[in-house]
């Protein structure tokens, strides 16, 4: 009974919305919005006959590659800068500028510098996504508890061991928050780098549907993008819960007190 | 006698600062040095030939181009368009998400009822709506607004929901026991708790709004700095394009600074000027 | 204020008391503090936290450092631990000058909640310094288990520190130090943040570990009762800028009991004496030796 009730809570509103959508498109056909049935009809043929391997997977692959590079680079540079007070002060204004720079403007810049190719698309994602990770890593390292530092020092824990056992875990909550921001920026950049002068990929395809007024197909593309976003967010949440289990537990105890 | 007393005192002074722990340069000086260093590298890379100047003009050229832009009406019109889309979109999203967040957050039923839908719609990237926006509004400012509102709405809504969930039970019960009406409770208990969360949401949404304003201008071609950048690039005005990129960055910095100031002003009264919660 | 007038009013100096830090013949001391001075340079000019401290700690001693708040106790401890560099003077461990945290030393901090790593479980917290030191896995396991048993926490190795009470968390920190097998254990007001009942238990635990394991312990506290109850020797510090006010031997029976020992007339006498010395220190009285 309890399970039934929570299932009802999960599906009730989505069902209601689909019903509403169906009812409002039932009468005379709307040019902009297809019926749910038309969308379902068109979804399979549009995506599962070649586009998934030709457009979707390469797009997602570039996104993941760009994100991975950005996260690793951001954490490594963030550690180097964060652990050094002088370096931190030296780089802060420049980094703040790059964080504030709206990442989409990187697309035309990198087209110039790298050219119109896959490398550019990955580079756009790397250059756009690195800042939240980098700056949050610096912040996480900077705000490490001084008692923690004295503890590691007094036990002679230094160098890589200190980074592995103290600095990284301690900064992990802040770093994860940065990665979360990077994910949504990465997705935006994946789409628009393909919309801005490209001949393949998810962003290009969806824009192509719109230009040729293939409206149900365009909506199915929006749906695919939404599903990718959802999948990315679910994977991230799963990772975050694993990595930060201790942190959420600690917060719960602190809040209860 | 007095010189004798002074001498050890003077000798003790330099010893106080241990060797190796020389007083570091003040932070702003280092920051300025960092900026100058960055500009120097940017100047040298094309001059030395690491990158061809027609792809990356030296910093000095770009700064001169930016200075020239500052004298042009067209530049300021573009800035105005971008800022207008930013402001209207942000305001609409904040009002809508703020009200909806309060209503949903205060009802346990609505919270559970909407949870799955919110979690499903939130990660949908707003750029997915670009084709739809083009279809509906073409290159008008409404295209930008649609993307901005969609993206900012979730940022603010989530923060407001967190905020309402954070309302102290004891405070609510106290208010109830003193016979506060529902409206009074919102005014005196819920709102003060939510405000810091709301401000965090608005600050995050402010930078998201700028990103999407520029995106819409760049991709769709609605008026503003983004379109100017696209035009400069396709027209081969490379220094001009870099100058505009620099300008959007400066705009981003300005928005960040202003939003942080507003947040501090508004929350200075708050007992818990909360630590940075970056979500 | 006449120094003579004050000392006339104090209770008789206990046997074995010296007006400055006690030193041992060369080669006998495990830990030597020699003419230690620490001056912080701040924006408001230099601040002298510790003026001139000299004392020795022999093998297997349990000494308490007690002083009025703000007397630079923590600064002194950090200098000894090699966490802070001294402005003048030196700290010797086994005759070797301490310039960085030495291997043979472990510190138990007051802020147990911040000194334990919240992302590591209890056993992992205890194990980490051993892992870092390259102790083989089997031995590591044994030492962790032994240490947890010694502090009475063998039942919670898989818990996270923040799931435990404050007293239990401090036991974990003590277990971590014990497992490290230091020659000198430095404890910086370790029980200042726990409730009175837990505190008594932890004091007895400290005495027991000292007797069973034969460690040398330097215990910093601002609590006079605690210093007399715990220590075999109490080093009283003056108020800042700090010198040794007096160094006294605690001639209480070795087996101590919270009720019995604290009820002894001798305990009261020593307690009185330490209290008076601290009051003198607060008023700015300095032993003659320090003035010289």
In tens, the pLDDT along A64-116 reads 999 999 999 999 999 999 999 899 999 999 999 999 999 999 999 998 888 88
Can you tell me the distance from the alpha carbon of A125 to that of A112, in angstroms, rounded to the nearest whole number? 15
Q: What is the pLDDT of residues B123-174, one digit of tens each?
A: 888 888 898 898 888 888 889 999 999 999 999 999 999 998 888 777 778 8
Cβ-nearest to B12 among C39, C40, C85: C39
The reported pLDDT for the residue numbered B167 is 82
Residues of C with CB under 8 A from a CB of A: 78, 81-83, 101, 103, 105-107, 109, 111, 114-115, 117-120, 128-129, 131-133, 160, 162-163, 180
Q: Is residue B97 over pLDDT 90?
A: yes
Contact C17, C276 (CB under 8 A): no
Would the CB atoms of A154 and C117 count as touching at under 8 Å? no
Contact indicator for C219, C48 with CB cutoff of 8 Å: no
The CA distance from C5 to C2, in Å, is 5
Facing residue for B249 by CB, picked from A100, A113, A206: A100
pLDDT band at B100 (very low <50, low <70, confident <90, very high): very high
Give the pLDDT score at A91: 94
Residue A256: other Cβ atoms inside 10 A:
6
Of C109, C117, C132, the CB nearest to A161: C132
Average the pLDDT over A241-245 and give the result. Answer: 92
Q: What is the mean pLDDT of residues A206-217?
A: 87
Reported confidence tier of residue B22, pLDDT bands at 50, 70, 90: low
Question: Rounded mean pLDDT of A241-256?
Answer: 87
Tell me how far CA of residue A159 lies from CA of A162, A165, A167, C47, in angstroms: 5, 10, 10, 32
Q: What is the pLDDT, as a whole number, of residue C10? A: 52
Helices (H), A35-117: 36-48, 51, 57-82, 85-100, 106-114
Q: Does the CB of A257 have a partner CB in chain B at under 8 Å? A: no
Do the Cβ atoms of B110 and B103 come closer than 8 Å?
yes
Contact B113 A12 (CB under 8 A): yes
Confidence of residue A49 (pLDDT cuts 50, 70, 90): confident
> Is A153 in Cβ contact with C101 (below 8 Å)?
yes
Neighbours of chain C (3+ CB pairs under 8 A): A, B
Beta strands in C141-207 (DSSP E): 184-188
Q: How far is CA C146 from the centre of its chain?
A: 23
Whether residue B249 contacts residue B241, with contact meaning beta carbons closer than 8 Å, is answered with no
How do strand C216-221 and strand C233-237 relate by DSSP bridges?
A: unpaired
Strand C96-97 vs strand C88-93: parallel, antiparallel, or unpaired? antiparallel
Q: Sign (positive/negative) of CA torsion A97, A99, A103, A107?
A: positive
For residue A238, report the phi and psi dihedrals to the nearest 5 degrees.
Answer: -65, -45
pLDDT in tens, chain C (292 residues): 444 444 434 555 565 566 677 788 777 889 999 889 888 887 778 888 888 889 999 999 999 999 887 778 888 999 999 998 889 899 999 888 999 999 989 999 998 889 999 999 999 999 999 999 999 999 999 999 999 999 999 999 999 999 999 999 999 999 999 999 999 999 999 998 888 889 999 999 999 999 988 889 999 998 999 999 999 999 998 877 788 888 899 989 888 988 889 999 999 999 999 999 888 887 777 765 544 4
Give the per-residue pLDDT at B275: 41
Chain B neighbours (≥3 Cβ pairs under 8 A) are A, C
How buried is residue A214: exposed, middle or buried, by Cβ count under 10 Å (0-12/13-18/19+)? Answer: middle
Residue B2 has pLDDT above 60, yes or no: no
């Amino acid at each position: 009974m309890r399970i039934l009730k929570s299932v009802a809570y999960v599906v009730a509103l989505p069902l209601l919305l689909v019903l509403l959508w169906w009812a409002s498109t039932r009468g005379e056909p709307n040019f902009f919005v297809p019926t749910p049935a038309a969308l379902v009809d068109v979804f399979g043929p549009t995506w599962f006959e070649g586009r998934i391997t030709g457009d979707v997977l390469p797009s997602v692959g570039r996104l993941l590659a760009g994100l991975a590079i950005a996260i690793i680079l951001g954490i490594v540079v963030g550690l180097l800068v964060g652990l050094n007070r002088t370096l931190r002060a030296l780089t802060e204004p420049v980094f703040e500028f790059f964080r504030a720079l709206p990442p989409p403007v990187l697309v035309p810049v990198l087209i110039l510098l790298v050219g119109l190719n896959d490398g550019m698309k990955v580079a756009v994602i790397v250059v756009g996504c690195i800042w939240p990770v980098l700056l949050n890593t610096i912040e996480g390292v900077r705000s490490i508890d001084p008692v923690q530092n004295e503890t590691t020092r007094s036990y002679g824990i230094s160098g890589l061991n200190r980074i592995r056992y103290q600095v990284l875990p301690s900064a992990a909550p802040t770093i994860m928050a940065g990665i979360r921001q990077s994910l949504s920026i990465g997705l935006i950049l994946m789409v628009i780098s393909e919309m801005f002068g490209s001949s393949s990929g998810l962003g290009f395809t969806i824009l192509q549907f719109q230009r040729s007024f293939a409206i149900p197909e365009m909506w199915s593309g929006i749906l695919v993008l939404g599903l990718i976003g959802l999948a990315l967010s679910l994977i991230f949440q799963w990772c975050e819960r694993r990595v930060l289990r201790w942190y959420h537990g600690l917060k719960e105890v602190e809040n209860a007190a | 006698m007095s010189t004798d007393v002074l001498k050890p005192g003077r000798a003790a002074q330099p010893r106080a600062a241990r060797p190796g722990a020389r007083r570091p340069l003040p932070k702003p000086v280092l920051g300025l040095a960092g900026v100058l260093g960055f500009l120097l590298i940017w100047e040298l890379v094309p001059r030395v030939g690491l990158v061809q100047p027609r792809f990356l003009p030296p910093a000095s050229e770009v700064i001169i181009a930016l200075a020239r832009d500052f004298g042009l009406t067209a530049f300021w019109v573009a800035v105005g368009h971008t800022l207008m889309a930013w402001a209207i979109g942000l305001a609409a999203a904040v009002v809508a998400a703020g009200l909806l967040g309060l209503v949903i957050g205060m009802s346990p039923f609505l919270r559970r009822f909407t949870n799955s839908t919110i979690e499903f719609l939130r990660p949908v990237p707003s750029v997915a709506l670009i084709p739809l926006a083009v279809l509906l509004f073409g290159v008008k400012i409404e295209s930008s607004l649609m993307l901005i509102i969609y993206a900012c709405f979730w940022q603010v809504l989530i923060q407001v929901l967190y905020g309402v969930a954070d309302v102290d039970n004891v405070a609510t019960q106290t208010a109830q026991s003193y016979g506060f009406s529902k409206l009074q409770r919102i005014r005196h208990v819920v709102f003060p708790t939510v405000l810091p969360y709301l401000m965090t949401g608005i600050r995050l949404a402010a930078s998201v709004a700028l990103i999407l304003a520029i995106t819409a201008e760049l991709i769709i071609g609605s008026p503003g700095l983004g379109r100017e950048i696209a035009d400069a690039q396709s027209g081969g005005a490379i220094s001009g394009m870099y100058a505009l990129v620099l300008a959007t960055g400066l705009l981003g910095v300005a928005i960040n600074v202003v939003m942080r100031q507003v947040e501090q002003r508004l929350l200075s009264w708050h007992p818990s000027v909360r630590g940075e919660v970056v979500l | 204020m006449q120094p003579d007038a004050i000392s006339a009013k104090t209770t008789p100096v206990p046997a074995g008391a010296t007006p400055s830090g006690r030193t041992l013949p060369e080669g006998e001391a495990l830990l030597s503090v020699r003419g230690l001075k620490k001056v912080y340079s701040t924006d408001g000019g230099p601040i002298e936290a510790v003026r001139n401290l000299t004392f020795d700690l022999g093998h297997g001693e349990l000494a308490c450092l007690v002083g009025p708040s703000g007397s630079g106790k923590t600064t002194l401890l950090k200098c000894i631990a090699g966490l802070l560099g001294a402005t003048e003077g030196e700290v010797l461990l086994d005759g070797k000058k301490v310039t960085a945290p030495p291997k043979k030393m472990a510190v138990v901090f007051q802020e147990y909640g911040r000194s334990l790593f919240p992302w590591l479980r209890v056993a992992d917290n205890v194990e980490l310094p051993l892992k870092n030191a390259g102790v083989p896995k089997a031995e590591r396991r044994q030492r962790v288990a032994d240490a947890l048993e010694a502090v009475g926490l063998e039942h919670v190795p898989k818990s996270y520190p923040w799931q435990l009470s404050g007293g239990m968390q401090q036991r974990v920190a003590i277990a971590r130090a014990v497992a490290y097998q230091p020659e000198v254990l430095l404890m910086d007001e370790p029980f200042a943040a726990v409730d009175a009942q837990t505190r008594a238990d932890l004091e007895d635990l400290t005495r027991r570990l000292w007797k069973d394991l034969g460690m040398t312990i330097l215990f910093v506290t601002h609590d006079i009762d605690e210093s007399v109850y715990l220590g075999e020797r109490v080093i009283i510090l003056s108020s800042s800028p700090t010198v040794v006010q007096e160094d006294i031997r605690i001639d209480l029976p070795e087996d101590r009991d919270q009720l019995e020992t604290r009820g002894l007339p001798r305990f009261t006498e020593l307690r009185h004496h330490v209290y008076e010395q601290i009051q003198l220190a607060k008023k700015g009285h300095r032993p003659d030796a320090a003035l010289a």
